Structures are given as C-alpha cells and as structure tokens.
Amino acid sequence: MVDVFSAHAEVYDRSRAKLIPCFDKFYSSPVQILEAHEVMPSRALDLGAGTGLLSAIISQSILIEELVLVDQSVSMLNLAKGVFENIPSTISITCKLQDLKSIKISGHFDAIWSSLAIHHLTDLEKKDLFKQIYGLLRPGGVFINADQSLGVTDKVEKLYRWQWLKEVRAAGVQEDDLLMALERMKEDRMDTLENQLNWMSETGFTQVNTWFQDFSFNVYSGIREK
C-alpha cells in the first residue's frame, strides 16, 4: 500500500468533520455500543488508530485502563501519542507499528475497535483480520468497526459518492483537503456492508449488528460469546 497517510498525517484531522458529514453520530456510536453492552474495557485495542481520534473520544466517556494503538504509519502514531499527552488521562498507552495484514499482539482484550482503516484491506484480508480479532477478544468482548462500505450495486455506489461530494462541498471543505482525501481513497478496497456482517457471523461473532448507517458510512459490532 502506498503510504499516503504518513504524507498527509499533519493535516489529516484538519477537515475530518467536514469530510465525514455524519461525524458526530459516526464517532459517538462506538461509545453507545460499549455502554449498551455494558463493556468497561480494562484493556482495549485500536486497529488502524491513525491520530487516535476514536480512542480519544471513547476514553472521554468510557473508563479504560490500558490501550494499545496499532497503525502502519509512524507519523500517525506520533500524533496519537500527542493527543493523549494533551488530555487528562490515566490510561496506559502502548503504540505498535504494524500492518493490519499481520497483527502480532500478545494477550487478550475486552474491546477492540477500528475506524476508517479496515476498508483498505482486500476481502481475504478482511476475513483473516476478523478471525484474528475474534482470537484476541476475551469471552464477552466486543469488536466495533466504524468504517465505509461499498454500495450493493454500481448505481448505489455512484449515489454514495455523489452524495458525499455534495455534502463535503456544502460544508466548505478546502479544495486541498478534498484533493488529499481523494488521493487517499485510491487505496480503498471496500466491500458491501452485508458481506462484512456475514463474514463476522461466519467467524463466530454473535449479536452482529449495524447500529448506524449514513450512505457509505456505518458502524457495526459483534460479540465473542465464549
């Protein structure tokens, strides 16, 4: 994968709210999922953590003792470290420079989440990652993915893209930021939401559910029962 994310790291969060029209609900849904399942993760894992935005939002509402941030970009992880250094927190933070195609992490987790990362993997890589995630969860642990999915038909996908461009431009996104986003999107390997939910169930996850969807943006989760 071309590392356009490291190249754009310093400005990645600059227009995130404008590039994600459903920003507030998209990033608050994982908190609501954890609360709904009554999961208070003493140990949590963020896959494709980027600048640490989702973990920072979750940590403001959910008590976390230990947090492991995984990303393939040194620049992104350095920004994530800075985020947690600048907010009041007693969380033990560990950063690991790893590709999601081959996670090497010891121990188990009460919760694993990811945001806008898994859609960069191929179908086979997504399936393999779901299996790895399942193996890393403790019984009763929850996996949450806040991501983008492919439209079920070419026409639906074109409508997704059209609506997204319409909304981000209406929000006043800077042209440079839009061009950088479009450059990053060349690395997308999206699949349909239905396929991903099926792969989750096939892996062994239960209570697989989509909690939020706004065109291509969605948040879904599953539980490891045993």
Asked whether residue 46 carries a pLDDT value surpassing 90, the answer given is: yes
- Indicate whether 86 pLDDT > 90: no
Beta bridge partners of 5: none
Calculated CA dihedral for residues 138, 122, 56, 45, nearest 10 degrees? 20
Pairing of strands 43-47, 66-71: parallel
Q: Of the candidates 213, 209, 211, 212, which has an alpha carbon nearest to the alpha carbon of residue 222?
A: 209
How do residues 176-224 score in pLDDT, each as one tens digit?
Answer: 889 999 998 999 999 999 999 999 999 999 999 999 999 999 999 999 9
Tell me the DSSP string of the chain: ---HHHHTGGGTTTTHHHHSTTHHHHHHHHHHHHHHTT---SEEEEET-TTSHHHHHHHTTS--SEEEEEES-HHHHHHHHHHHHSS----EEEEEE--TTS----S-EEEEEEES-GGGS-HHHHHHHHHHHHHHEEEEEEEEEEEE-B-SSHHHHHHHHHHHHHHHHHTT--HHHHHHHHHHGGG----BHHHHHHHHHHHT-EEEEEEEEETTEEEEEEE---
Burial class (CB in 10 A: 0-12, 13-18, 19+), 116: buried
Higher pLDDT, 3 or 118: 118
Q: Specify the pLDDT at position 13.
A: 65
Render pLDDT for 92-131 as a digit per residue (tens, 0 to 9).
999 999 999 989 999 999 999 999 999 999 999 999 999 9
pLDDT, greater one: 11 or 155: 155
With bands split at pLDDT 50, 70 and 90, how would you rate the model's confidence at 1?
very low
Look at residue 9 in the predicted model and tell me its pLDDT: 46
**Mean pLDDT confidence for 59-67:** 94
**What pLDDT sits at residue 139?**
97
Mean pLDDT for the chain?
92
Cβ(144)–Cβ(154) under 8 Å? no
Q: What is the pLDDT of residue 58?
A: 96
Q: What is the pLDDT of residue 115?
A: 97
Residues with Cβ within 8 Å of residue 63, at least 6 apart in sequence: 40
Q: Domains in the chain: how many in total?
A: 1
Count of residues making up the chain: 226
Q: What pLDDT, on a 0 to 100 scale, did the predictor assign at position 101?
A: 92
For residue 49, is pLDDT > 70? Answer: yes
CA distances from 192 to 116, 131, 165 (A): 14, 18, 20
Q: Looking at residue 212, which CATH number applies to its domain? A: 3.40.50.150
Instruction: Round to whole Å and give the CA distance between 201 and 195.
Output: 10
Q: Looking at the predicted structure, is the pLDDT value of residue 173 above 50?
A: yes
Question: What pLDDT is attached to residue 15?
Answer: 78
As a whole number of angstroms, the distance between CA 36 and CA 209 comes to: 12
Question: Does the pLDDT at position 161 exceed 70?
Answer: yes
Domain range for 15: 4-223
Contacts of 85 (CB under 8 A, 6+ apart): none
